[in-house]
Structure 1
Amino acid sequence: MAITHADLSSLRTPWRTDIGNRIALFLVLLSVLCGLSGFVLCLAAEASRSEATWYRLSDGSRSYECVYTGSGRTPLACAVCAFLLFAVAMFAEHAYMMVAVTCPSRPAPAAWPLPDDPRTLSSTGRWQTCALFLATWICFSIAEALLLIGIGVESGHVSQWRQPKPDCHVIRPGLFAAAGIFGLSTVLLGVGLYLTALQAQRLHQQEDNMLRGTAHVHHPHPFPPTSAP
């Protein structure tokens, strides 16, 4: 019996599926770890952010001078690391999305009971995927923008922070915490996007199986007539 190219492809598909699933799982875990680490660093930056103390001059005038309470190196380092970790998490999200889309999946059984029409569920899954993808990018952009603002402010008084100044720029309370919340939301939305994409892919495969079954029923294979004995 000759082995065809289709037989070899069917043998390679489960192996490629297992490798793709392992890579996707590793990237999901990497994204979650980076997101959690970035969130913790944002909380650390919020707790150690620089503040300013204002003093009124004693020469009778109404002018004031301010002095920073810290150099800002600790919140600056935490903000930079969180910025990079959120970027790595976003890159990992796009990577495991590519793996989930391009990796061949195992064939689903055609006799699997469906609660509704798979075509309707597949269309709904596409809309959910688009909405989650847009929400992920919005949260990521807000988190990175807030971190950039914090990095710019904290890096402005790294040197000579003990010297009195006529004006001191400080970060409002909650900026780093908000950046951490948006960054963590990016990771959670990315995981939801991955699960939604897998569900949409499975429903699309079920729809293909149903179409093949319908075509098989309407166009049965012709059998040669049996010869009379």
Structure 2
Amino acid sequence: MRCKTILVGILVATLGIAVAVAGFAAEATRVKRSQLKLVFDGLEPECEYPSSPAMGLAIAATMALVLARVIITSATVGCCSCCIPTPNGPIFGRVCIVISWITSSIAVILFIAGAKLSSQKDVKTDTDGVYYCYTIKPGVFSAAGIIGLVSVLLGLIYYFLYVLDRSRAAKKPEVDLELEKQQVIDGNKPTISDGTKPQMP
């Protein structure tokens, strides 16, 4: 049980770090406005975008985050884990897993939206009628990476609380069984009738 817990913890933590690293890498390699060129070829202008791995990194980060979410879910009690009490109180455990689900959803949405927006190569027009090339706003991928890492850490906290709770629940029947055996042994002892001689059954 301990080996499984350690392996799950290491795997999920590695995926969380991978999400953050991929998010910051996507942020660093995203196409900047200074790298774009507006070319007038014929009647319609066109945007020339340099190649960038930001979209692939965003997709990889999304897959890592989803995989971490699946591992945590399968290692506990599924999607209803927020309803299971934990040894440190049901409120703390539920808050951790609920916030973990919310933050992971936000991170996935940011990664997917960032990847989709990074693939847009259409020419835009501002309110003054001036043409420009669209670029994703800075901070989207890095924010997604940080939020994804927080989501994984909260999921790990709940997972360890869940394992501890199950371990305590497994030890409780053993303790109760030992107490029952002790009571049975004590009940078979001969009773003292006059203070000197035991009365045999």
TM-score by length of 2: 0.69
Corresponding residue number in structure 1 for 2:2:
21
Corresponding residue number in structure 1 for 2:120:
156
The one of 83, 91, 96 equivalent to 2:70 is 91
Unmatched 5+ stretches in structure 1:
1-19, 58-64, 100-120
Structure 1 ranges of 4+ moved more than 2 A: 20-25, 51-57, 65-71, 95-99, 124-127, 165-169, 198-228
Aligned residues: 174
Aligned-residue offset at 1:195: 1.9
Counterparts of 1:1-229 in structure 2, within 5 Å, are 20-53=1-34, 67=47, 70-71=50-51, 73-98=52-77, 122=87, 124-157=88-121, 166-204=131-169, 222-223=187-188, 227=200
Unmatched 5+ stretches in structure 2:
40-44, 79-85, 124-129, 191-198
* Greater per-residue strand proportion: 2
Q: Mark the CA change 1:127 to 1:210 in structure 2 (over 3 Å): closer, same or farther.
A: farther
CA contact (8 A) 1:150 1:171 kept: yes
Counterpart CA distance in 2 for 1:55 and 1:43 is 25
CA contact (8 A) 2:22 2:57 kept: yes
Counterpart CA distance in 1 for 2:183 and 2:99 is 44
TM-score by length of 1: 0.61
Residue identity in the other structure for 1:130: R
After alignment, is 129-138 or 48-57 more displaced?
Answer: 48-57
Aligned with 2:133: secondary structure?
Answer: coil
Pairwise CA RMSD of aligned residues? 3.7
